[in-house]
């Protein structure tokens, strides 16, 4: 109840920031001290889907969550990219739709003409596409300081990827798992060479708290017998947090100067909410509108976790409203995190090896 009240009032937490802060505000003081030669990758996509209305009961309040497909070419991903570019970071934006990515690049450079932005093709639902992107990026020999696993997908109906995995889980979790694995050594090498701590950010969601242990079965998430879009989305977001927990543990064992954290960006007001206003009663929309964040506010926690000097050495944590927050008991389960990582590693490795044989 206390956290809900703090959210509604926009009160600052221990970090000095709260739910009402924007990405520009949270990164403003960092501008002068942050090295201007940092390179960041922000995953993106260009398709947008809206779930049927999802009522989330949190601390006795009803929230409407938009389960959006977002990335660096739309929504909070684009706002994150804009602010990071404004703060002097070099950006690499992998996107499925390069035309849409080019529009976002032009939009960013209208404000920051000297922003360095590389656009590269990648479809997070395809292992082959991820492999091609990573090979192309690594061949550029660029440093990599920050990896923001931001893109996400919601599918109302059951869909499968070309690799024959359920679309939501494959895009939101497996794709980011493979991407992170492929780029991890470059990030560690960059941090060792430059002395600057690297950071990985997994964008998750508070909806992960919906998942119960008995529903979190790896084989079922890959190929569910019964499909519920909201459950699949929640499972993928729980997997994002468990991924951060396990990678953080492995990085600590290596004494790597690299951290990984997960976060909930908030429930963000978008054009889709406005377009579907007719589907919601006026009274409920009036309530929901006061609980939703603006896009600049939705990007704040990502920019905070990516750039804040307060978080040096902080790893394996979960953030909301620019402050460390609590996640579900299952999300904190170290054994579940290790099991998920091992099964993911085996699946991805075998699939990539099979692709190499076929080519």
Q: Among all residues, which ones are annotated catalytic?
A: 227
Helices (H), the chain: 2-9, 23-28, 75-86, 98-111, 127-139, 167-169, 175-194, 218-222, 229-253, 271-275, 282-291, 295-298, 300-307, 334-358
Nearest to 259 by CA among 246, 248, 268: 248
Contacts of 91 (CB under 8 A, 6+ apart): 39, 40, 41, 42, 72, 81, 84, 85, 115, 116, 117, 118
Which pair of tokens denotes residue 138?
A: 């690594």
In angstroms, rounded to a whole number, what is the distance separating the alpha carbons of residues 135 and 210? 37
Residue 212 sits at φ, ψ, to 5 deg, of -100, 155
Q: Tally Cβ neighbours within 10 Å of residue 50.
A: 18
d(CA 50, CA 152): 12
Q: Collapsing DSSP states into helix, strand and coil, what is residue 56?
A: strand
32 CB neighbour count, 10 Å cutoff: 7
Contact of 89 with 146, CB cutoff 8 Å: yes
Query: Could you count the other beta carbons within 10 Å of the beta carbon of residue 223?
Result: 13
Residue 355 token pair: 């692709």
Number of residues that this document lists for the chain:
359
- Residue whose entry in the numeric block shows the structure tokens 């656009």: 119
Counting Cβ atoms within 10 Å, is residue 170 exposed (0-12), middle (13-18) or buried (19+)?
buried
């Amino acid at each position: 109840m206390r956290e809900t009240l703090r959210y509604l009032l926009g009160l600052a937490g221990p970090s000095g920031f709260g739910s009402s802060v924007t990405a520009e505000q949270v990164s403003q003081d960092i501008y002068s001290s942050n090295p201007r030669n940092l390179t960041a990758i922000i995953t993106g996509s260009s398709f947008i889907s809206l779930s049927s209305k999802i009522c989330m009961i949190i601390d006795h309040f009803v929230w409407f969550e938009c389960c959006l497909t977002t990335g660096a070419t739309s929504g909070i991903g684009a706002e994150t990219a804009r602010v990071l570019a404004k703060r002097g970071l070099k950006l690499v934006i992998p996107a499925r739709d390069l035309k849409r990515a080019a529009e976002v690049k032009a939009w960013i450079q209208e404000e920051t003409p000297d922003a360095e932005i590389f656009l590269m093709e990648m479809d997070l639902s395809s292992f082959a596409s991820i492999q091609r992107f990573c090979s192309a990026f690594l061949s550029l020999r660029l440093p990599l300081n920050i990896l923001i696993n931001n893109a996400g997908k919601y599918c109302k109906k059951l869909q499968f990827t070309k690799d024959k995995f359920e679309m939501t889980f494959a895009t939101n979790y497996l794709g980011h798992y493979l991407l992170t694995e492929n780029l991890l050594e470059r990030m560690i090498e960059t941090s060792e060479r430059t002395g600057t701590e690297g950071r990985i950010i997994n964008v998750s969601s508070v909806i992960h708290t919906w998942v119960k242990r008995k529903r979190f079965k790896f084989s079922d998430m890959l190929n569910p017998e019964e499909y519920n879009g909201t459950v699949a989305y929640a499972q993928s977001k729980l997997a994002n947090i468990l991924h951060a927990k396990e990678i953080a543990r492995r990085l600590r064992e290596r004494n790597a100067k690299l951290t990984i954290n997960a976060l909930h960006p908030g429930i963000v007001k978008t054009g889709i909410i406005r377009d579907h206003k007719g589907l919601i009663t006026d009274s409920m929309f009036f309530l929901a509108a006061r609980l939703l964040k603006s896009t600049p506010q939705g990007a704040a926690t990502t920019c905070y976790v990516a750039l804040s000097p307060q978080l040096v050495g902080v790893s394996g944590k979960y953030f909301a409203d620019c402050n460390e927050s609590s996640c579900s008991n299952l999300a904190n389960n170290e054994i579940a995190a290790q099991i998920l990582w091992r099964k993911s590693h085996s699946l991805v490795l075998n699939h990539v090896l099979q692709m190499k044989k076929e080519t």
